[in-house]
Each structure stands twice: as structure tokens, then as C-alpha cells.
Amino acid sequence: MSKTLRNLLFCTGIGFCLPAFAAPQVLYDINQTGNLPTEAGWLAGGFAFSSQTLTPQGAQVAPLLAGNSTLGGYANHTSVISLFPQLQVSNGPLVNALFPALDRNAGFALSLGFRIIEESHSGNPNRAGFSVILVGQDLKGIEIGFQNDRIFAQNDGVALFTAGENTVDPLFVGRAFAAHNRWDLNVQGTSYALVQGGTTILSGALRDYSSYSGFGQDAYRTPNFVFFGDNTTSARGAFLVDYAAITAVPEPAPFALFMAGVALIAGLRRARAA
């Protein structure tokens, strides 16, 4: 790789490089805005028997009732939680139409800063009180669950919503609860990687949830979808979030045009130096 090209790229923890002009689009940063994620212009909140509160450390989401029936979190699409005739979550349009397309072949990454305050999963050992969902424009994506004793990827297909690859390493599990830390969920091609502190914690194949039908089905059948929070009635959690950003490579045609320009500039520089 030439020095000119290297200066125009940055690399993520999964080992792929994105153009430097594909800079992170900050969705929420408590240090910049000092407000709630729902007031930053990129994220909507959905809460059922839970609440959001602004604290100096970020937005805190906590259940208001005992048991696992509470829901609460943030997404880049508007959402409606209906309680009757049954509990269901439906997605609407993007909160901000400028949210980029998530093309897994080009690559994209979600960066989150959060701390889990408490989590329990007494209703189902394969669900978590805090989860992160990242789905690309072709409905291929991944859901990561954070429990108080492990971090895991949710399966699809016949093993839908069972735990797949996971880690019980107390170092990384503990970091989710001990303090605010930055986590990166990176996607390229057919693979994902969860990275924390420069170390890949989990990696594997993307899932295809597009055929799922049931509670919260819109979370898996909505293109270009991001969610983080408590999305299940089988577990419960409380958490603080202080940062969220998405990085996505533009569509292939603009990127190809950009690289052609890079090559032209490099050629002109070589001609002048000759």
C-alpha cells in the first residue's frame, strides 16, 4: 500500500480499512451535546415500563417495575410500542434521513460507549438485559447480548435466539459493568467482530434474521437498523450510554470515483517530481 493511500485510510479492529473520508457520524455524545440521545437528532427512544434520565455520565435507562416485562432502548428508526392486544414493537422511518446506507460488502462499524448497571436473564438464559443489533441494507447483521456472566452472539435459523459464539472471560464481561468503555461492532463481507480496547472479543459469520416472525420482528427486518438496550421480555437490564457513532463506506460508485481521483493526484505528483 502506498503512503498516499495509507494516509487516506483508517483500519478497524476486524482488520479491514475504511476510507478516511468515511469518518464516524456521531449519533450521540454526552460530552458534545449534554442532552439525551432522543434530543440529538439521530436516535429515537422506546420505553415500556422503563424510563430514561439524563445524568452527568450520560443517559440512564432503567426499569420501573420488577420482573422481565420492561423494555427500553434506542434505535435509529422511530418505534412504536403497543401494549394491546399484545405487546409488540413496530419500526417507522429513519429518525434522520442522512443516516448512511450500511453496505456490508464495503464495510461499516458501530461504536458505542456504555456501562451496564445491572442485568438479569431469569426468563431465558439465551437472552440478555442489554443487547446491540446491527443490520445492513440487505438484512444481514448480528445481535450481541451482554449478560452479567458472558457476552454472546444470537443465532438465527433453526437455532433462533440461542447463544452462539460467546466469551465468559471476566476481564471483558467485567468491563461492560465496571465503567464506561468504548465498544466497536465491525462488519465487512460476511463477518462481524466485536472489539474492545483494541482486542477482538467475538467474531463470526453474520446472521440472517429476515425470515423471523414474532415479537420485535421489525428489529430484524428493517434495513440499515441500529438498536441498543433492553429488547426482550425474557431478561431485564439498566444501563448508561454516553456515546454512539456509525461509520460506513459510501456506495461503490462514489468510492471508485474517489480512488480514481487519488490515483490521478498521485500520478501528477510523480510527473512533477520527474
Rounded to whole angstroms, what are the CA distances from 209 to 120, 135, 216?
A: 24, 9, 11
**Which pLDDT score, from 0 to 100, does residue 23 have?**
84
The pLDDT tens digits for 161-203 are: 899 999 999 999 999 999 999 999 999 999 999 999 999 999 9
Q: Could you identify the residue written with the cell 444481514?
A: 140
Count of other CB atoms within 10 angstroms of residue 268: 10
CA separation for the pair 196, 176 (Å, rounded) = 10
Domain residue extents for the chain: 1-22+254-274, 24-248
CA separation for the pair 79, 91 (Å, rounded) = 4
Q: How many CA atoms lie within 13 A of 223 on its CB side?
A: 8
- Give CA torsion, residues 40, 73, 76, 30, to 10 deg: 30
CA separation for the pair 190, 97 (Å, rounded) = 26
* Cell numbers found for residue 71: 423494555
State the pairing for strand pair 151-154/207-208: unpaired
CA separation for the pair 201, 194 (Å, rounded) = 6
**Which pLDDT score, from 0 to 100, does residue 13 have?**
44
Q: How many CA atoms lie within 13 A of 19 on its CB side?
A: 15
**Which pLDDT score, from 0 to 100, does residue 265 have?**
55
The pLDDT tens digits for 22-81 are: 689 999 999 998 999 999 999 999 898 999 999 999 999 999 999 998 999 999 999 776
- Look up the pTM and report it: 0.83
Domain 24-248 has CATH 3.80.30.20: no
Return mean pLDDT, the chain.
85
**Which pLDDT score, from 0 to 100, does residue 272 have?**
60
